[in-house]
Structure 1
């Protein structure tokens, strides 16, 4: 039995609780449809399309996840370019129409953001929406993350688990100087690239170029070229029989994830994270990253050299590192119960959802929790094999992890000649507006 058998069970319970149901998909498609009707009533948006992106398109969202929307302006068949001022004007027009129509709550216009955004909520069920103009970059990034799911299903599960854990520790909010969800997803990708054996390849092996630079010309042609490139390279990686297979369980991978980044406050000023190359990189040697300085650098592999973690403040970096370190210490402790683990791995609304009703525990299940025991944080030992350019880690005692591997790789079906962009079957049946195309 795995050393992390209890942890595996708790992580699976969290996944069951946060994985969207059919109605969660239907609600979001309904919101998209309602926004389309409002946009069609705005003269300045005539001919525009309302298209989702972000975690919804990547299938990396949870039941309570936000919805990202891009309003794509008509420019014939070509990709259009719109200045920031014009985007602000168009979002202002949409804001007036939404107020006139009614039924939308918490309307907020973030006019001076790097990308102007209109934020709102739809009650019920309280889904938050961020609306931007001509965010084709965001759409294509989201699709590539969706296609990466084909390589190994553990990527999807780890992203959901990491985001829930980060919310529990209040380190998944760029407004408060911590990580946004996209940078957390890239940390998972990087972990899967640098674990031993690797689960994911460097993203340059999936799309060699700087994707945002290629978004010029006829939109359908550009999107097809990007999709076909990724399709070919992903299938090549999956079908490589000589590639060592990583069969670690989610629990083992999760513990290793925490250990890998637990000392980020000690190396973040010197080392950057590059999912594009799949390597740690010396900041001083990467001229593209200079002269700007950030608390931590997680490069956008599809929009180099942008830093997806630019929202992380130097004042909050120690708090973030502490969350990694304390959770790691909790998970390797032998004095935990399912309840104490759950409280430390998921935000309160998820924990309550899993633990109710309180029933007797006959060797499993959940009781209303005692206060979790927090052992003194333990600095993890360096891994036995050092990845090229890996940040130095201090030798600390009592940092062992489980060596058993009872998990299994859940990658895409071998021999498939195309990347399936299809959403889960229940979502496809409800979908009326936006349908990811499938390469024939």
Structure 2
């Protein structure tokens, strides 16, 4: 257990300051919407892409993005058949789009990676300064981001924890999958696993939210179907756990997160499984034993894929030292200086904004870390050429091309902090649902002229009517309203919109 943290008050103040600096504001959201519209205009100027839909996904859709985060967008090509679109066609579409972006002069630092597992264009928007990762028919990414959106709504501490953990990982130079460390998707999974392991649990096993395995290529995606299943299952979980809600403060949960993965070096025989919500033994599943990894964090939606598969041996050592050092600082009661705490938990640019003037000083050689990366959060660092052998890359949000993760350790019982503040978890307004968990079974659509191909999945019912949708971070085909603390999402017929609680009675807006 955590012996003590001398000042949870100081930790609380520091993480509140960090969050106030990295969390997006309305202007950041509007810039991303404008960047999406800019891409949509460019896409539809290409004859071959005139009917394509431009769909944001990733951390923007799940509301887990930071101010400096990249924007993930899928160009969904019309596909009247049930056959998946070949990689060659996707690459041709991306090449055509890249030429159009060059002609219009809306992008700089363009980087095309056709050999990646998911082909991708990376660029920086000239007009809005937004880093963009563009793929084609990335339905798996869209489904994952919608599920993460609903997980985020379940408890307001989850989104804050994800942002804090990613910021810490960047500061310790262990959030760079191109160079063998963790991508942001795997960090999100570690936070989910931590919340599943708390007592009482904050989150259920992900199989109880949306039981789906996207190992087969998806040919259609019905967002409405995903939402309905998630809403029904989350509603049931919240009803069943009413009266036993975990009330640990964010600062307490943050400290416990590092304690949980203190012995991450010993996870060689274990799998961190957010699908089951517990550590699993590698030898219990032949598919897990097919390859040897330094760290195994199972992708709950593409099992048995390892979200942390690119973690290298040397880089894993760096990850271990990062967890060990922050635990040493927390348990030794060394966190009595604001500057030192900020330099441990946030990047140099964020620390500079907050007035931190001193870098970390590591006094124990056995715990020494690499110096925190001083790269500017707002530069073009995400557009360097990918160096991995398969050309894969993961954006800061971890939804672009690869989905990586890390391995499990012994389950530590979570202690209650001696002065944990009262935190009111994010409220959730569930819709009526049927009793019992709904299993998210991909549905095949059969029309009268063609039959679906065996082994190809269509998530949700698909109507064989191609329509060009106007973009929105929360598109929907239905008219159902979903609400969460601080504001409400609603559907106006073509887009999802948001109204803060203060302005809710005045207008419905996005």
Give TM-score, length-normalised by structure 2. 0.73
- Quote how far apart the aligned CAs of 1:209 are: 3.2
- Tell me what 1:383 maps to: none
Q: Provide closer, same or farther for how the CA distance between residues 275 and 393 of structure 1 changes in structure 2, counting only shifts above 3 A.
A: closer
The structural deviation recorded for 1:129 is: 0.7
Task: Measure the CA separation in 2 of the matches of 1:256 and 1:14.
Answer: 18
2:257 corresponds to 1:257: yes
In structure 1, distance between residues paired with 2:38 and 2:142: 20
For 2:87 and 2:328, the matched residues in 1 are separated by: 46
Alignment partner of 2:496 out of 418, 430, 435: 435
Structure number with greater CO (CA < 8 Å, separation at least 6) is 2
The answer as to 2:406 corresponding to 1:406 is no
TM-score when normalising by structure 1? 0.84
RMSD between aligned alpha carbons? 3.2
**Is contact 2:426-2:485 (8 Å) kept?**
no
- Give CA deviations for 1:140-189 in whole Å, capped at 9, x if unaligned: 10011010112211001000000111110111111110111111101100
CA contact (8 A) 2:481 2:490 kept: no
**Structure 2 unaligned spans of 5+:** 368-406, 433-479, 499-510
The answer to whether the 8 A contact 1:59-1:146 is kept is: yes
1:242-279 Cα offsets, whole Å, 9 max, x none, are: 56321111111111111111221222x21111100001
Moved more, 128-137 or 329-338: 329-338
Matched, 1:232 2:232: yes
Give the Cα–Cα distance (whole angstroms) in 2 for the partners of residues 340 and 162 of structure 1. 17
Report the counterpart of residue 194 of structure 1 in structure 2: 197
What residue number does 2:458 align with?
A: none
SS in 2 for 1:119: strand
Q: Which runs of 5+ in 1 are unaligned?
A: 356-367, 380-388, 395-399
Q: Aligned residues, how many?
A: 406
User: Matches of 1:65 and 1:423 in 2, distance apart?
Assistant: 24
SS in 2 for 1:352: helix
Give yes or no for contact 1:49–1:72 (8 Å, CA) kept in 2: yes
1:433 to partner: Cα distance: 8.8
Q: Quote the Cα distance in structure 1 between the aligned partners of 2:58 and 2:425.
A: 23
- Partner of 2:482, secondary structure, is coil
Q: Counterparts of 1:185 and 1:131 in 2: how far apart (Å)? A: 21
Shift of the 149–348 alpha-carbon distance from structure 1 to 2, 3 Å rule, reads same
Instruction: Give the helix-richer structure, 1 or 2.
Output: 1
Superposition deviation, residue 372 in structure 1: 4.0
Q: Which of the numbers 104, 116, 119 marks the counterpart of 2:119?
A: 116
The question of whether the paired residues in 1 share the 8 Å contact of 2:197 and 2:278 is answered with yes
Structure 2 counterpart of 1:47: 51
CA contact (8 A) 2:490 2:497 kept: no
Distance 1:183 1:39, change over 3 A: same
Report the CA distance between 1:195 and its aligned residue. 1.8
Partner of 1:179: 182
Q: How far off its partner does 1:290 sit?
A: 2.6
Shift of 1:82: 1.3
Q: How far apart are the structure 2 equivalents of 1:281 and 1:251? A: 28
In structure 2, the partner of 1:319 is: 318
